[in-house]
Amino acid sequence: MLQKFFLLIVFGLFSFTSSQISHQYHFINISKNWTEAQSFCRDMYTDLATVNNVDEMNSLFKTITDVSHDVYIGLHRSQVFKWHWSLPDSFYNEDTFQNWKNGQPDIHNNEGCAVMQNNGKWFNDSCDTKRQFVCFNARANKMYILTEQNKSWREAQEYCRTFHTGLANARNNSENKDVSKTVNSEAWIGLFKDPWLWSDQSNSSFRFWNFSQLINISRDQDCGAVMVNETGRWNDVRCDVSLPFICHGDLKAHPTTKPATPRPATTQHIPAQNTTEQENTSTQPTKILTTGAEQDNLILVHENLTWIEAVSYCRKHHVDLVSIPSEELQNKVARKAFQAYTSHVWLGLHYSCTFNFWFWIKNTEMGCYQNWAPDHGPNGFEDCGISGAMESTGGHRWVGRPGRERLNFICQTCGSCQLCTAEL
């Protein structure tokens, strides 16, 4: 069972990159309604999360570190029902191969699933009708397999995903012929009509609904959420519910400006960049001087980097830019900062322009311990595109600095070790 596969997932650490996964997911442990969550993700990263396949779903699920709430993704209901091929990276539109029988496809704006006749022609039917179906198996010699049990389209999809790859798609004449050869009289294929869209306009047709939710076509539940207690399956929920959410894409160096209040031209919008690119900038030194101390899991890097470059550097070589949840850690970081060559050192603190709050990039929330300089932090005047730094000397207070400034910085070398999650 696919569900068993998900149960194996260990809740816990953030995973920032993976070479096979095209999306970088970030769990944001702040409850927002869906539209606010979308603004946050577009401001700080690329957008609310899109999922293309089960591997990405697995990777997304692993980033969820709090299971007390369901979690928004970028899926939302539109007014228009559209046909989709069910396999990843398969697109259906008016220009792609079609083999509908006369009077088809269904022009009604409602749910539908496609049946193939043994002559290769397609027609729509209610997805709840129980029929035979054709599975596709990417790894088998015989790629198209007719199953003679009668199942609803979704049961059939579930069966094919569990024992094969998925329902058979017929994206061109040659696939259509191969599929139709297996059909006795009529069988489900992996073509379905639904109204769901992704926030980032991606046309991913991957769907992962919880089984009993599938039938619920209640119109006021227009947003998609991952059900943490249902092995990552999706539920449709009301969009005004406040939930944590998942963004995808790289952290932006300079968050976009608030739509309502345009900022001065000096606040530049730099689009999301990919980490590999950032690490390859010409300013990246060949030799990096660090002051490490294995006992305290902190590393001072004696290089002048922008905030986003510092994040990249720490994530590549250690774990992350340092978070300071406690006075104990503040004192340790302060001792490190004292040895910096710049007046301030970057911390893993970032400011959300959209929502006017500060957060630690590692675990999102601002803890109880804070050491802001007067007029800085939550009560200060903040501009877009600033990040948090610590004074290298004096009171070692925290201040907001433009992210493009070049400063030394402190990485932490542990992810969930005791120091980094010290009691508040």
283 is a contact residue toward ligand NAG (CB under 6 A): no
CB nearer to ligand NAG: pick between 31 and 371: 31
CB of 366 to ligand NAG, least distance (A): 11
Burial 326-349 (b: 16+ CB within 10 A, else e): beebbebbbebbeebebebbbbbb
CB nearer to ligand NAG: pick between 108 and 375: 108
Residue keyed to tokens 């503040």: 330
CB nearer to ligand NAG: pick between 118 and 218: 218
Task: Tell me the window of 9-17, 215-223, 290-298, 345-353 that interacts with ligand NAG (CB under 6 A).
Answer: 215-223
Distances (CA, A) of 265 to 191, 206, 269, 337, 384: 48, 40, 9, 33, 12
| Residues from 120 through 139 that contact ligand NAG (CB under 6 A) | 124-126
70 is a contact residue toward ligand NAG (CB under 6 A): yes
> For the window 293-332, what string marks contact with ligand NAG as x by the rule CB under 6 A?
-----------x----------------------------
Closest CA to 268 of 304, 308, 305, 303: 308
91 is a contact residue toward ligand NAG (CB under 6 A): yes
Phi, psi of 399 (to 5 degrees): -135, 155
258 is a contact residue toward ligand NAG (CB under 6 A): no
Closest CA to 179 of 147, 149, 131: 147
Task: Tell me the window of 148-156, 251-259, 367-375, 379-387 that interacts with ligand NAG (CB under 6 A).
Answer: 148-156
Which conformational region is residue 120 in: left (phi greater than 0), alpha (psi within -120 to 50 degrees), or beta? left
Is omega for the bond preceding 105 within 30 degrees of 0, making it cis? yes
3-state class of 62 per DSSP? helix
CB nearer to ligand NAG: pick between 343 and 380: 343
Q: Which of 109, 118, 274, 281 binds ligand NAG (CB under 6 A)?
A: 274
Q: Which of 212, 283, 356, 416 binds ligand NAG (CB under 6 A)?
A: 212
268 is a contact residue toward ligand NAG (CB under 6 A): no
Q: Which of 18, 58, 213, 370 binds ligand NAG (CB under 6 A)?
A: 213
Distance CA 152, CA 113 (A): 10
3-state class of 37 per DSSP? helix
Distances (CA, A) of 48 to 78, 171, 232, 254: 16, 29, 16, 18
Distance CA 63, CA 16 (A): 9
Give the footprint of ligand NAG on this chain (CB under 6 A). Answer: 29, 33-36, 65-70, 91, 93, 103, 106-108, 110, 112, 124-126, 148-150, 171-172, 174-175, 202-203, 210-213, 216, 218, 221, 228-230, 239-240, 274, 276-277, 280, 304, 341-342, 363, 365
